[in-house]
Amino acid sequence: MTILDVFTDNVRAMQPYHVQSSAGMIKLDAMEMPHKLPEEMSQALGKFLSMSNLHRYPNPTSSSLVSKIKSVFHLPEDLSIIMGNGSDELIQIILMAVAKTGAKVMSPVPSFVMYQQTAKLLDMEFVGIDLEKDLSLDEDKFLSAIEKYQPAVIFLAYPNNPTGLLLDKLFIEKVLQKASGLVVLDEAYAAYASQNTVSLLEKFENAVLIRTFSKIGLAGIRLGYLVSNPLICEQLEKVRMPYNVNRLTKAAARFMLDQMRYIEDSVKRVLAEKEVMFNWFSEQDGMTVRPSEANFLLVKVADADQVFQRLRDEHKILVKNLHKTHPVLDNTLRITIGTEVENHKLRQALSQIISA
Ligand SMILES: *Cc1c(COP(=O)(O)O)cnc(C)c1O
């Protein structure tokens, strides 16, 4: 007997979520927006935050923020919204609410790791359906697996992290039809994608949308939101901790939702830079890049471990090395689009590494 016996087998077997140390580095590893808020906006935000009643608990219903989110992101009025401390927490809320003995969670793999991690923590069985070599999903295989496993929750990242690809919307409709449980459409990269799945929310009772402020310049405030019909949200609300999102976060979100022109401009700058980077990668010998509907690119190189390490150690540039995380990601790096200057430095560093 040791004190460690008190912990569940799953917790003991788990690896902690590893965040690479990034002090002094160019950070192209976590899909953050590379631009800092302009000084003037930052000052105004500070003033706005200073008016928060920090001696009071946050308002649990967040109704003014909810209305603002609905109007800014053109979400149907009759749907309900739940706020989370990042969409990570929303994933946890969804899974806690359905974690019956034997309940299964399904998603394509590779996809966002928190689906699997959180399912396992809750002693749920995770069924991962492997993507094909070309990173596409075998739709028939996925639909048969739904029939076979009857998952309580299916996660579909739209677009997917780490592939950057969108599933076919007709396929998503088939999934929604076939599934007897919830189908969570994770649109963390909605701002960068050419399409979204909002229209499916009113059409299918089991559709749940989750989004985040993290990829549009506000990763530091930790705010996500979930959209679904009132029937489903009423159940999920019971699982949410009453004060899960703090006053400063909600105030910052309210402030920034009045600055959508700025956010949209930042997104456009990132998209323009993505095109520059995509074209550059396409022209390089020894590197293959894939089209992406998000703010990152997947790049295959000859030796990902070596390129990753040299970028980090010699050039102080941090990217995500996906080598050995899944067979379809062999020698693949996931590179978040940075500022013009950062991307230029990355190109120079890569030219040097590849030519040597
Ligand atoms: C980044 C990301 C999230 C995480 O969102 P937070 O709101 O920062 O917790 C969720 N889903 C996908 C697919 C992501 O890539």
Give the residue whose CA is nearest to atom 14 of ligand 1. Answer: 188
**Distance of alpha carbon 124 from alpha carbon 192, whole angstroms:** 32
Given pLDDT bands bounded at 50, 70 and 90, which one contains residue 356? low
Instruction: Provide the 3-class DSSP secondary structure of residue 61.
Output: coil
Residue 30 in contact with residue 321, Cβ under 8 Å?
A: no
Q: Would the pLDDT of 74 be above 90?
A: yes
Q: Would the pLDDT of 27 be above 70?
A: yes
Residue 22 in contact with residue 318, Cβ under 8 Å?
A: yes
Pocket test for ligand 1, best of 31, 85, 88, 116 (most atoms within 8 A of CB): 88
Locate the ligand 1 atom nearest the alpha carbon of residue 112 and give its number: 13
Q: Would the pLDDT of 35 be above 80?
A: yes
Mean pLDDT, the chain, whole residue set: 96
Residue 91 in contact with residue 208, Cβ under 8 Å?
A: no
Query: Would the CB of 188 count as within 6 Å of ligand 1?
Result: yes
Query: Would the CB of 295 count as within 6 Å of ligand 1?
Result: no
* Model confidence pLDDT, tens digit, residues 298-308: 999 999 999 99
Locate the ligand 1 atom nearest the alpha carbon of residue 223 and give its number: 7
Query: Would the CB of 92 count as within 6 Å of ligand 1?
Result: no
> Could you give the C-alpha distances from 176 to 34, 106, 163, 181, 245, in angstroms and in order?
35, 13, 22, 9, 30
Spacing, Cα 118 to ligand 1 middle (Å): 13
Query: Would the CB of 163 count as within 6 Å of ligand 1?
Result: no
Pocket test for ligand 1, best of 215, 222, 296 (most atoms within 8 A of CB): 215
pLDDT at position 61 is: 81
Spacing, Cα 60 to ligand 1 middle (Å): 23
Pocket test for ligand 1, best of 112, 155, 197 (most atoms within 8 A of CB): 112
Residue 285 in contact with residue 351, Cβ under 8 Å?
A: no
* Model confidence pLDDT, tens digit, residues 184-242: 999 999 999 999 999 999 999 999 999 999 999 999 999 999 999 999 999 999 999 99
Query: Would the CB of 186 count as within 6 Å of ligand 1?
Result: yes
* Rounded-to-10 torsion of CA 338, 165, 222, 80: 140
Query: Would the CB of 218 count as within 6 Å of ligand 1?
Result: no
Q: Report the share of the chain in percent with pLDDT over 70.
A: 100
pLDDT at position 14 is: 86
Query: Would the CB of 161 count as within 6 Å of ligand 1?
Result: yes
**Distance of alpha carbon 247 from alpha carbon 253, whole angstroms:** 10
In the chain, the amino acid numbered 9 is D
* Model confidence pLDDT, tens digit, residues 126-177: 999 999 999 999 999 999 999 999 999 999 999 999 999 999 999 999 999 9
